[in-house]
């Protein structure tokens, strides 16, 4: 008898992980080329998938096992070139093909650069316009960083290059540069930042709801948006991050008022002895998927 856990997200048996059965496609994107402090994000997707196999499927919030309601299929990891622009183009193609199936695409990074390809791929497949909701410690609004416009520090700016991206809404930010502050002030309709203290005191909620109401959303979660006590294994950790409950509150609120049509989770850099980080991230991805697909249930 085979007692091995299936090697897919959440360790699901074929009944719930076969492509035809699944409502979700998990796409590992192990890209790492522009990290500027700690490295290791290329190992993030595999670590998340491995940790997810230890996550309990039962969710007290729903009083059932949500994954068995919608099904999750794990795609092969992308094999990407080292050049960031070329990698973004390859990610874009892969995400567009996955999104055209009508299933929810969930990218697992990798460094945050992958989100440019994910966002562009969703636009290609779905047409129309998208709002980006970004949980992050950093605004990533630089036009260029360390010689490339496709740095992990530029992803929000690159997404805003797309006319079909209506706005980028950022929560949990606590580290910015003067260029980013000036950009947000000059483009208040398209770039909105709620710094971490605004999440802590709840003042983000009213305007956030107004901005996402009825919108289609690409959700991008940089795990350094959470406090390092929860996710210490990330390349550019910042103190005073979002708590677990604050993060879930954002996701619940988002899915109550908008439709998440695609998401990614990036910047986990697994480190020996800190497996709590990949477990927390795996559980967060599972919750984010459930909030999206269990709306109204």
Please indicate, yes or no, if residue 9 is contained in any of the structural domains: no
CATH number for 67: 3.40.800.10
Residue that has been written with the tokens 């289609």 in this structure? 216
Please indicate, yes or no, if residue 214 is contained in any of the structural domains: yes
Q: What is the pLDDT of residues 84-97, one digit of tens each?
A: 999 999 999 999 99
Q: What is the pLDDT of residues 153-171, one digit of tens each?
A: 999 999 999 999 999 999 9
Q: What is the pLDDT of residues 100-133, one digit of tens each?
A: 999 999 999 999 999 999 999 999 999 999 999 9
Q: Does the pLDDT of residue 33 top 90, yes or no?
A: no
Please indicate, yes or no, if residue 13 is contained in any of the structural domains: no
Please indicate, yes or no, if residue 250 is contained in any of the structural domains: yes
Distance CA 208, CA 205 (A): 5
Please indicate, yes or no, if residue 116 is contained in any of the structural domains: yes
Please indicate, yes or no, if residue 26 is contained in any of the structural domains: yes
Confidence of residue 36 (pLDDT cuts 50, 70, 90): low
Please indicate, yes or no, if residue 11 is contained in any of the structural domains: no
What pLDDT is stored for residue 176 in this prediction? Answer: 98
Is the separation of the CB atoms in 195 and 173 below 8 Å? yes
Please indicate, yes or no, if residue 1 is contained in any of the structural domains: no
Q: What is the pLDDT of residues 230-256, one digit of tens each?
A: 999 998 899 999 999 999 999 999 999
Which structural domain range is residue 228 located in?
A: 18-74+81-293
Q: Please, what sign has the CA dihedral across residues 128, 131, 136, 141?
A: positive
Please count the structural domains in the chain.
1
């Amino acid at each position: 008898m085979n007692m091995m856990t299936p090697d897919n997200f959440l360790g699901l048996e074929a009944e719930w992980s076969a492509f035809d059965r699944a409502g979700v496609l998990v796409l590992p994107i192990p890209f790492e080329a522009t990290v500027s402090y700690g490295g290791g994000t290329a190992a993030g997707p595999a670590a998340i998938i491995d940790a997810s196999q230890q996550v309990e499927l039962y969710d007290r919030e729903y009083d059932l096992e949500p994954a068995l309601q919608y099904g999750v299929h794990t795609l092969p990891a992308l094999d990407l070139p080292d050049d960031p622009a070329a990698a973004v183009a390859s990610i874009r193609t892969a995400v567009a093909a996955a999104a055209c199936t009508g299933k929810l695409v969930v990218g697992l990074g990798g460094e945050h650069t992958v989100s440019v390809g994910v966002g562009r791929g969703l636009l290609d497949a779905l047409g129309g316009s998208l709002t980006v909701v970004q949980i992050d410690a950093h605004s990533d609004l630089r036009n260029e960083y360390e010689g490339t416009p496709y740095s992990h520090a530029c992803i929000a700016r690159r997404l805003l290059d797309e006319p079909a991206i209506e706005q980028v809404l950022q929560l949990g930010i606590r580290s910015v540069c003067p260029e980013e502050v000036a950009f947000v002030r000059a483009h208040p309709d398209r770039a909105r930042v709620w710094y971490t203290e605004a999440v802590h005191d709840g003042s983000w909620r009213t305007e956030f709801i107004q901005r996402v109401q009825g919108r289609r959303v690409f959700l991008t979660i940089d795990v350094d948006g959470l406090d390092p006590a929860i996710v210490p294994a990330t390349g550019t950790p910042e103190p005073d991050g979002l708590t677990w409950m604050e993060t879930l509150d954002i996701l619940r609120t988002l899915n109550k008022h908008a439709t998440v049509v695609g998401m990614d989770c990036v910047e986990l850099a697994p480190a020996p002895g800190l497996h709590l980080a990949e477990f927390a991230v795996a559980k967060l991805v599972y919750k984010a998927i459930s909030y999206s697909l269990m709306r109204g249930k």
